[in-house]
Chains A and B, each alone.
Chain A
């Protein structure tokens, strides 16, 4: 961590590309690809939470795995604390891994049923090199305490815990190396709503006490609004809109963002807005086409959208959107009179 200064963002992702090769349909057929990430760029400042939202299959989890250097990236750059991680071998990455850890979606699948809490939580310490057993035990005790687990839980096995407690174990595992960045891939979507709030509050508290930076992936807008300082909306492997949470939620500039926001069921008196409804189906990601990624489902689609790809440009300060007609979208955001 030589050239890392406080001003530099914890995570800088530039033009990240990931294409999955599909199995050949026949022996002589060409390989086809799933274009999971098509040039994603963003950065996260220290101590902030960055939300990534989008439908299933839009590339959110692929993005998480690539940022975590768990897959071979097909292009672009991921810099964590100033250090480029794309292109490093698994062995070269090992000493860096203590700085970025991950919390997974499914607390039932992300904990090995054959290991006890002590061994699960201590697992990432492997990246730290040799620790004495006293140091190790102290770390485990300290981190379990900070996520609200009892010291008596240390020798228990995952099946003895509820979903919320399991996710606390998973968070403890991510925290044990004192990472700068935690990538959380839908960490509460598998939990009951009542438990979701506890876990979200825990994440928030931990951020305040440890200054940890989050990259938070979710399909739940309410969760992102609660936790995140900045949000990026993804569609078919691209960021279509990005900005400060309050700006983006109050005044979306991309029709897709608007549709997502409108789709959230609002209890009580719903705000009177012109709702944009979603048209068409999800298009496949097995080809790259000219024009806007959202063209098939966009209710506002014009000819230009089918031929020219809209660039991600600023619509206001620190708020970018990739739509030819973002001004029109924003014009409609103003509550209708009456």
Chain B
């Protein structure tokens, strides 16, 4: 049991280096996406052939691509895309997965078996391969890539939630709630969910990073966001064939993806320390 008082929550935030660095990196990402909604330094869509393959300069901060589009602007607009895909995909996984996990823990018996065996089944397929399969069946595009990534997230959340929820169901305060006449539904929402929430939030942050990576991978393969909307993965793909002609083009989308994933992973780690000091004491 933690002996901390609530005021030390801020202290824990301040002391956790991963939380601070991850938070700043993620914040920067969100800021880029927000700014790009109404302003970008150049245009992410306008094709200006004479300006193609420009190196970084005052006018084009990170240079231009083979069509003369401004890379900073494309990256910033691409952030919107990455975040939108990740938010929706994680939400799909979170809502359905957490509900299934809570249901499995509350019902036990064959309901639990059924939900868990299905999630085992889906785990048997490599995530990115099944996402490719889904987009191949449904056709490439932003919405379908969201669906594909979201589907993969469901069993991850279901499994995690069920495991943590089972541990909470075994606690005495749940028995006390039963003795008070509370049904399983109320107990799930009043006792189980609040006690597993911090673990779910941490997992959501990490899956958010994985979703950004998966979206980039699908776009790289041409199965995700379609042109002309900028997307980090497709920028990488297009830069690949030009890597000896114009290396700048490949470096920046790669850096953007790396920054996003690294930042979110750090944030997830930091949140683990901040939200529930019992979970990790090593750092």
Contacts and interface: CB of A to CB of B under 8 A. Distances in A.
A102 B179 contact: yes
Given A97-B180, A112-B194, 10 more contacts: A91-B183, A93-B181, A101-B180, A104-B172, A114-B191, A114-B194, A123-B180, A126-B182, A127-B181, A159-B5
13 contacts: A90-B183, A95-B181, A104-B175, A112-B194, A114-B191, A114-B194, A114-B195, A115-B190, A124-B181, A126-B182, A157-B6, A160-B5, A170-B176
Contacts of B183: 90-91
A94 B181 CA distance: 5
Closest 4 CB pairs of A and B: A127-B181, A124-B180, A110-B172, A109-B172
Contacts of A104: 172, 175-176
Contacts of B180: 97, 101, 123-124, 126-127, 173
A97 B172 contact: no
Contacts of B5: 159-160
B177 A123 contact: yes
Contacts of B179: 68, 70, 97, 101-102, 124
Residue in B179, B186, B190 whose Cβ sees the most chain A Cβ within 10 Å:
B179
A111 interface: yes
Interface in A84-131: 90-91, 93-95, 97-98, 101-102, 104-106, 108-115, 123-124, 126-127
Interface in B146-172: 171-172
Contacts, number: 70
Nearest to A170: B176
B178 A112 contact: no
A100 B205 CA distance: 44
A53 to B, nearest CB: 21
Interface residues of A, number: 32
A109 B182 contact: no
A101 B178 CA distance: 10
Nearest to B5: A160
B241 interface: no
B3 interface: yes
Nearest to A95: B181
A97 B175 contact: no
Nearest to B197: A114
A160 B183 CA distance: 28
A77 B4 CA distance: 46
Interface in A115-174: 115, 123-124, 126-127, 157, 159-160, 170, 173
A127 B180 CA distance: 6
Contacts of A115: 190-191
B182 A123 contact: yes
Contacts of A159: 1-5
B196 to A, nearest CB: 10
B1 A113 contact: yes
B184 to A, nearest CB: 9
Nearest to B180: A124
B173 interface: yes
A90 B175 CA distance: 13
